[in-house]
Amino acid sequence: MADLNVPELGHVIVLAGGLSYEREVSLRSGRRVADALRALDVDAQVHDADATLLQTLQQAPPDAVFPVLHGSMGEDGAIRDVLELVGVPYVGARPDACRVAWDKPTAKSVVRAAGLATPPSVTLPKEVFHDLGAAAVLECVVRRLGLPLFVKPARGGSALGASVVREAGDLPAAMVGCFAYGDAALIERHIEGTEVAVSVIERDGEPVALPAVEIVPAGELYDYTARYDAGDTEFVTPARLPEEVARRAAEAAVTAHRALGLRDLSRTDLIVDEAGQVHFLEVNVAPGMTETSLFPRAVAAAGLNLGRILHDLIVARLR
């Protein structure tokens, strides 16, 4: 039944799927977003990013597009550049901001310049290992950054290709796993602590942090399986942080959102060390919206309705 307090919205295309490694997650996110909007009587339709998309956008232009494409093209600005070419309003960060946010080393530089702490790191394409000798390069990395290390693709999501390395002997396999998903590796000093995700939404153009979600994976890593497949990952909302630390975590997410020039919504992943210092890990411009995802948990923890939040973000784009 239509909520009389919800402004009417016409036809919305929820863009999901694509050809990235995260296609399955994206399709699930897309279905959930569409369901949430339809519950408010919005005419929402899921559409894949495929050869029929442009024809659909041009022949039957929607009022807006809600992209939930995860992975490259969806998060690196490419699809948003296309939406701008076609002239269709869409929710979320603009292409330039996406390009910066998607490249983790660049995002770290930007937020560091804005005053956030982020783990020391190095970014190395696989050619460096090939040309200079993997063993020698890895020895330098360990000497400089120490152990444990966190290895992940410089561009990528859903923790695909990511691993914690505690023994130097495990580094080659970690690098192989990382390069399965990308051509450059971000190797960070691993910070032990409390892992939290802070989602941000814009209200009247101002970014507002939702309650932090604390992540307690059953295994060592909040990896792909721990994120998306029903299992033993535990979430605590709001995160069990002292008030002052929680405030700094929220502030860090808002700072990241602003510094990176993001728009409408984002999710920042942080780690809080044992001394209570908040460290920026990465930001996501198209946060997951599946049944197991963090953004919907944060919305629920704030006592808000997901469909209403998404609806309002769309309406804000149309103004």
Partner 1 sequence: MHQHTRTDPYTDRYAARAAGMVPSEIRALFAVASRPEVVSLAGGMPNITALPLDVVGDMLGELTRRRGTEALQYASAQGDPELRARICEVMALEGVHGSPDDVIVTVGSQQALDMITRIFIDPGDVVLAEAPSYVGALGTFAMYQADVVHVPLDEDGLIPAALRETLERLRKEGRRVKFLYTVPNFQNPAGVTLSETRRAEILAICAAHQVLVVEDNPYGLLGFDREPMRALRADDPDNVIYLGSFSKTFAPGFRVGWALAPHAIRAKLVLAAESAILCHSSFTQFAVREYLATQPWQQQIKSFRVMYAERRDAMLESLETLMPDGCTWTRPGGGFFVWLTLPEGLDSKAMAPRAIAERVAYVPGTGFYADGQGRRHMRLSYCYPEPDRIREGVRRLAGVIERELQMRDTFGTARARERGGVDTPGPETC
Q: At residue 119, what is the residue type?
A: P
The answer to whether the annotation marks 284 as part of a ligand binding site is: yes
The CB-of-123 to partner 1 minimum distance in angstroms stands at 17
Say if CB 233 and CB 227 are below 8 A apart. Answer: yes
The secondary structure of 152-176 as a DSSP string is EESS--TTTT-EEE-SGGGHHHHHH
State in angstroms the smallest separation of the CB of 24 from partner 1: 4
Q: Give the nearer residue to partner 1 in terms of CB position, either 23 or 108.
A: 23
Residue 29 catalytic? no
Q: Which is nearer to partner 1, 130 or 203 (CB)?
A: 130
On whether 269 is known to bind a ligand per the annotation, the reply is yes
CB of 177 or CB of 193, closer to partner 1? 177
- Based on the residue annotation, tell me whether 195 is a catalytic residue of this protein: no
- For this structure, is 158 an active site residue? yes
From the CB of 118, what's the least distance to partner 1, in Å? 25
Q: Which is nearer to partner 1, 168 or 236 (CB)?
A: 236
Residues 6+ apart with CB under 8 A from 65: 12, 13, 14, 15, 57, 83, 88, 89, 90, 91
Which residues lie closer than 8 Å to 80 by C-beta, 6 or more apart?
67, 90, 92, 93, 94, 95, 98
Give the shortest CB-148-to-partner 1 separation in angstroms: 14
Which CB, 17 or 207, lies closer to partner 1?
A: 17
Type and span of the H or E element at 178: helix 171-179
Catalytic pick from 26, 29, 266, 293? 293
Catalytic entry in 22, 75, 188, 214: 22
Q: Which of 72, 158, 163, 266 is catalytic?
A: 158
Q: Which residues bind partner 1 (CB under 8 A)?
A: 19-25, 27, 50, 126, 129-130, 134-135, 160-161, 163, 170, 172-177, 179-181, 223-238, 240, 292, 297, 301
Between CA 144 and CA 179 the distance in angstroms is: 21
Helical H runs in 40-170? 53-59, 78-86, 95-102, 104-113, 126-132, 134-145
Other Cβ atoms less than 10 A from the Cβ of 64: the count is 23
Residue count of the chain = 319
Q: How far is CA 270 from CA 3, 142, 187, 193, 197, in A?
A: 36, 23, 16, 10, 6
**Residue 238: CB minimum distance to partner 1, A:** 6
> What residues form the annotated binding site for Mg(2+)?
269, 282, 284
> What residues form the annotated binding site?
269, 282, 284
Enumerate the active-site residues. 22, 158, 293
